[in-house]
Amino acid sequence: MAGSAAESQPRVLAAPRRHRASGVALTERRITLSALWARLFAPVDAASIGVFRIAFGGLMLWEVFRYVQYGWIARYYIDPAYTFPYIGFSWVQPWAGNGMYYHFAGLAILSVLLMLGIWYRVISVLFFLTFTYIFLLEKAHYLNHFYLISLLSFILIFVPANRAFALSFRRHKKRASLSHTVPTWTLWLLRAQLTIVYFYGGIAKLNGDWLRGEPMRMWLRDRTEFPIIGRWFTEEWMVYAFSYGGLLFDLTIAPLLLWSRTRPYAFIAALFFHLSNNELFQIGIFPWMALAATILFFPPSLPRRLFGGVKPHVVKPRRRNPLAADLAPAAIALQPGQRAVVALLALFLAVQVLMPVRHYLYPGNVAWTEEGHRFSWRMKLRAKGGSIALFMTDPATQTITQIDPDQYLTGRQTAQIATHPDMLVQFSHYLEGQLREQGYGDVEIRAQAMVSLNGREPQLIVDPEVDLTAIHLGPGHEEWILPLTTPLRSSD
């Protein structure tokens, strides 16, 4: 009896201990969540975001100048008889007459005003709409860094980037007294977007072709005149140094910039990487945009310390005793506006995280089929080219006539329809309409498109027996796109 009483006593005492432990754990979880919200909405110096705003506006002004200087406004948006719309955006069409020149002039003015921080809220919205209109006009001119600019300009609508180094704060005495800080989440949102770009750019390089040195081997072979190191561009060790170096850079640069101990070395690596890319591959303003964005990974007050000026007073949240009795749920609950911010942040970032992996839903090599390739940060990753022959069949007479796409498209557009099956279908529907206007009835369009990926022998990319005018693009896999079967050439 005594033994059984002794055995039952610990079981009676164990329940309150478990109850207290679970209560402490619940409190700790509540405090951890509270600390996260406090940090997200705590104020930080707006200086680094202000500098990024200036650099962003300046680079966009430079981009408009380049479009004027090289005649790209007419080449891409005025001269083509047909522009390839994104699905759901066929209503976005170029302005008539000189409208596109006026549009780019407006973009230049908005870039200056954004850089200066004048009328920031209105200007940031107008800038996003003005630039995104250009981005949506022509699928044949898709560029990853244009997509990034559109996303960053959208984010800047919600980020008070005019709270540092902006004329609007100096023009009005009332505004001069406003806070020179921003909520912490604004800085981390920009960091997260840039991290996603780098990370998925690295993940995309984890494919068989890239790990075997292609297409880097082809690219370097054509650039042996590059100063100093060009003499080694045909060496295998240099090919793999560039291939694996780019992969490791993309996967690690964001965390290395965030960690204070590695930040100086990471910044030097970023300088070398982006400047060498600019010289080797001429990829527009992206290297400069990426370098300007590194300021966001440094302490936010760094520009103010470098350029002088009084550091704004940042109120840090008080630390609480984890077991304080006055820690009530109401004290840690988010305000309705803050809850909306958290929900929208989660939604935006979820889309950004999921979009680059959607190609796993489709069979085949995404670099070949193009299904899920855009909006996925698959940057400077492949060498793809081909030739195309189009044939019109008149069902009434069963006559077959070859169609020259260059009569309807620019050279760039013709090259794109040869390698992008979705654009080939879009052009076939456009061509069907043009032929109907010329007096033909219902016609059938077929294509023989021979494409080479990363130096492979060319092969058919679409079924030459399929009437492309009968295809209606949707979100699913298109069976008429032929799989890639040609092996990669040996490097020997």
118 and 204 part of one domain: yes
Residues near 98 by beta carbon (within 8 Å), at least 6 away in sequence: none
455 and 347 part of one domain: no
Taking alpha carbons only, the member of 107, 109, 115 closest to residue 162 is: 115
Pairing relationship of beta strands 384-394 and 459-460 according to DSSP bridges: unpaired
389 occurs within a structural domain = yes
466 occurs within a structural domain = yes
- Each residue's pLDDT expressed in tens, for the chain with a length of 492 residues: 444 444 444 444 444 454 555 555 555 555 576 777 778 889 999 999 999 999 999 999 999 999 999 999 999 999 999 999 999 999 999 999 999 999 999 999 999 999 999 999 999 999 999 999 999 999 999 999 999 999 999 999 999 999 999 986 555 555 544 578 999 999 999 999 999 999 999 999 999 999 999 999 999 999 999 999 999 999 999 999 999 999 999 999 999 999 999 999 999 999 999 999 999 998 899 999 999 999 999 999 999 988 865 455 454 544 444 333 333 333 346 677 888 888 899 999 999 999 999 999 999 999 999 999 999 999 999 999 999 999 999 988 889 999 999 999 999 999 999 999 999 999 999 999 999 999 898 999 999 999 999 999 999 999 999 999 999 999 999 999 999 999 998 876
Query: How far apart are the C-alpha atoms of 229 and 242, rounded to whole Å?
Result: 12
Q: At 2, which helix (H) or strand (E)? A: helix 2-41
Crossing angle of the two packed helices 47-69 and 184-204, in degrees rounded to 10: 50
Crossing angle of the two packed helices 236-258 and 263-281, in degrees rounded to 10: 140
Number of domains in the chain: 2
396 occurs within a structural domain = yes
**What is the token pair recorded at 205?**
């390089």
Query: How far apart are the C-alpha atoms of 472 and 477, rounded to whole Å?
Result: 12
Taking alpha carbons only, the member of 126, 152, 134 closest to residue 53 is: 152
150 and 200 part of one domain: yes
345 and 397 part of one domain: no
pLDDT at 37: 75
pLDDT at 312: 54
206 occurs within a structural domain = yes
Taking alpha carbons only, the member of 185, 60, 74, 184 closest to residue 126 is: 60
Tokens 């989440």 sit on residue = 185
180 occurs within a structural domain = yes
pLDDT at 84: 97
β-pair partners for 430:
none
Query: How far apart are the C-alpha atoms of 33 and 322, rounded to whole Å?
Result: 12
387 and 351 part of one domain: no
Task: At 380, give phi and psi (nearest 5°).
Answer: 45, 60
22 occurs within a structural domain = no
492 occurs within a structural domain = no
Crossing angle of the two packed helices 144-158 and 184-204, in degrees rounded to 10: 170
139 and 286 part of one domain: yes
153 alpha-carbon distance from chain centroid: 12
**What is the token pair recorded at 129?**
């709409």
Q: At 433, which helix (H) or strand (E)? A: helix 421-437
270 and 195 part of one domain: yes
pLDDT at 311: 55
pLDDT at 47: 96
349 and 433 part of one domain: no
88 and 229 part of one domain: yes
Which three-class secondary structure string do you get for 234-290? CCHHHHHHHHHHHHHHHHHHHHHHHCCCCHHHHHHHHHHHHHHHHHHHCCCCHHHHH
pLDDT at 9: 45
**Which residue range is the domain that position 262 belongs to?**
43-311+331-357
Are the C-beta atoms of 84 and 413 separated by less than 8 Å? yes
275 and 350 part of one domain: yes
15 occurs within a structural domain = no
Are the C-beta atoms of 194 and 468 separated by less than 8 Å? no
423 and 345 part of one domain: no
304 and 449 part of one domain: no
